[in-house]
Amino acid sequence: MDLYEHQARELFADHGIVVPRAEVTDSPERAREIARRFGGRAVVKAQVKTGGRGKAGGVAQAADPAAAEAAARRILGMDIKGHTVGTVMVAEPVDIDSEFYVAYVLDRAAGGFLAIASAEGGMEIEEVAARHPGAVVRVPVDPAGNLTTAHAARIAAAAGLPPETVDVLVRLWEVLVREDALLVEVNPLVRTARGRIVALDGKVTLDDNARFRQTRWGAEKDGHGDPLEAAAAAKGLHYVKLDGEVGVIGNGAGLVMSTLDVVAGCGARPANFLDIGGGASARIMADGLSVVLSDPAVKSVLVNVFGGITACDAVAEGIVRALDTVRLTKPLVVRLDGNNAARGRAVLDEHAHPLVHQVPTMDGAARRAARLATAA
């Protein structure tokens, strides 16, 4: 579960990390009052569970309370990557001397965590890595052990961070461990003109499997900022909205994640993550296709299934029956492999839907879906 920025900052403050004063509101008039109490100047930030708020106009510097009210009025109700802004955070401004990037993220392949840090903060870390790969350091961290001050000092030194950030690195690790997080990120972590180290922004993703321990976030359980995610959750689907044009459906989280990478490697962008799990009944396929096709950004759909407990012919039957209830308006590329794959392909061949394309390999299917999406 992703937290809103103001919730992430609340966690940081609980663990002794300095954050600027801030309050959340859904009222422009209230934003004006908050700015007045903060001394007049303020930063108004959209509270949505997605990145790119600044580029979308969801972050504004306000020189006075009237400007804070105007900014809040403009930002509230905005659509940012499919997320409607319902609240804004009004924060006390900070005089920045230097900006840094620090994060801990789960490394599933290695079965541990990575500390990622850079002396170049304030922008997307992918941009920094692409422009200057040596500026981003990645240091493995053993999840079974505590992150010591000495370990944090090595991370800071490798990234070129000042020694004052070591304490923050230790405390961020405490946030990750004690709050059952899969990701904690601060961008930017800043040094102010007076030499204080302050977390200006925060991103935290909690492990859904630990909800029974993290009861403070129980009210967020059914909250979805994106309407498609809400619709999928109502149908019991594991769906995450992304910012691309190729819809992706697969059986198994690992396979879906791999499919997203392959699609990206073919020059297209995945529009979503959708794991239908071990079963692919007609209802599940119909529900999944309905949600994915409801995204106006989707230009093609890729169904990537490896038959195991659920045989590919059952998946194919599910697709055929789903097409009886869902009007297919975009090309659908299907890759079936594994248990009863030949029978599954035959089922789809017999149905002969003009918009269904069968490709036997994952790479080939991703290339076809990417090509169809870009040609649309």
In whole angstroms, what separates CA 137 from the centre of its chain? 21
d(C-alpha 83, C-alpha 66), whole Å: 26
Count of C-beta atoms within a 10 Å radius of residue 87: 17
Cite the active site residues. Answer: 101, 185
d(C-alpha 327, C-alpha 286), whole Å: 10
Which residues are CB-contacts of 121 (< 8 A; sequence separation ≥ 6)? 99, 100, 101, 187, 188, 189, 190
Asked if 306 and 324 count as a contact pair (C-beta separation under 8 A), the reply is no
d(C-alpha 4, C-alpha 2), whole Å: 7
d(C-alpha 365, C-alpha 335), whole Å: 6
Count of C-beta atoms within a 10 Å radius of residue 265: 12
Burial 224-239 (b: 16+ CB within 10 A, else e): bbbebbebbbeeebeb
Evaluate the CA torsion angle 142, 147, 150, 151 in order and state its sign: positive
The pair of structure tokens assigned to 220 is 């967020």
- Give the three-class secondary structure for 239: strand
Q: Are strands 83-84 and 79-80 parallel, antiparallel or unpaired?
A: antiparallel
Which residues are CB-contacts of 259 (< 8 A; sequence separation ≥ 6)? 248, 250, 270, 302, 304, 362, 366
Helices (H), 76-213: 125-131, 149-159, 166-178
HSE-up (13 A, CA, CB side) for residue 352: 1
For residue 312, which amino acid is it?
C
For residue 145, which amino acid is it?
G
Nearest to 7 by CA among 241, 216, 230, 224: 216
